[in-house]
Structure formats: structure tokens, C-alpha cells
Amino acid sequence: MNTLLISPRTPDTFWSFKHALHFVSKRASLPPLGLLTVAAMLPRDWALKLVDLNVERLDDADLQWADTVMIGAMIVHRESVEEIVRRCAALGKTVIAGGPLFTTGHEAFPQIKHFVLGEAEEIMSQLVTDLRAGTLQPVYRSPR
């Protein structure tokens, strides 16, 4: 299974530290820890690729390669997520979305058919089982 994990672009806000990054020779202020945690829970026989839009572009070749696209996003990422989802839909990709943006308002994204709401650590084994079986559920919600 080719799984593409996408960290959306953070807009130029106080929290992006865009104007301070050059002083410390960095391209982004925060690594996509949520997606890295999810990647660590995926089966070892899956091919994974992480694209952090804060440091690189999302190429069409990346999307074409993927069987499944996973997006982890905070509320500030809404605009970037909308662009990612539009591109995925144009290629008929299965998108699984998680993070605070979706936990607090997944209903605002009708074009996304699968969500992880709450803590992924508590439901990833079931999601992987369902993905392998071709029986993905619309919503996976952690009990906490």
C-alpha cells in the first residue's frame, strides 16, 4: 500500500515564525509530529512518503503514486487543506483526514469521506484492518 502523508502549508501567522526562520537556518518551525506518529503506527510493509508543504511542493507524481492520502491538519491549515483535497479528488484518491481541524468540524468537508476524530493512537489498528479489507468507515472516533 502506497501511503502519502501530507502536512498542509501553515499560512504566514505569528505561529509560522516565517520571518525568524532565516536567523536559525531552518525552513519550518514545527515538524509534522502528528503525521510522523501516524506513520510509525502503519504496517512496516507499506510504502510511506511524507510531504510537508512548509518545506516542499506537492507534485502530481506524489499524488499519482499514492493509493491512500492521509492529511493531518490544525484549524489554521484550512485553506491549504482545501487545495490538497481538490487535487486528490481530481485524481480519485482516497483521503483520510485527522487532526484538530477535522475533530472540531469534519462536517465542513463533504468531499472527504474518511476521518479520524480524536487521538489516532487509539483507533489506528482498526483503521489499518479496515483499509486492508477495503471496508473503510466514514468516521473513526477515539473514546477520549
Query: Can you list the pairs that 107-112 forms with residues at least 24 positions away whose Cβ atoms lie under 8 Å?
Result: 109/81, 109/85, 111/85, 111/86, 112/85
> What would the mean pLDDT of 101-111 be, rounded to a whole number?
96
pTM surpassing 0.75? yes
- DSSP classification of residue 115: E
As a CATH number, domain 2-141 is 3.40.50.280
Model confidence band, residue 12 (pLDDT cutoffs 50, 70, 90): confident
Per-residue pLDDT tens over the stretch 19-54: 555 555 555 556 788 999 999 999 999 999 999 999
How many CB atoms are closer than 10 A to CB 52?
20
pLDDT value at residue 121: 92
The SS3 of residue 47 is: strand
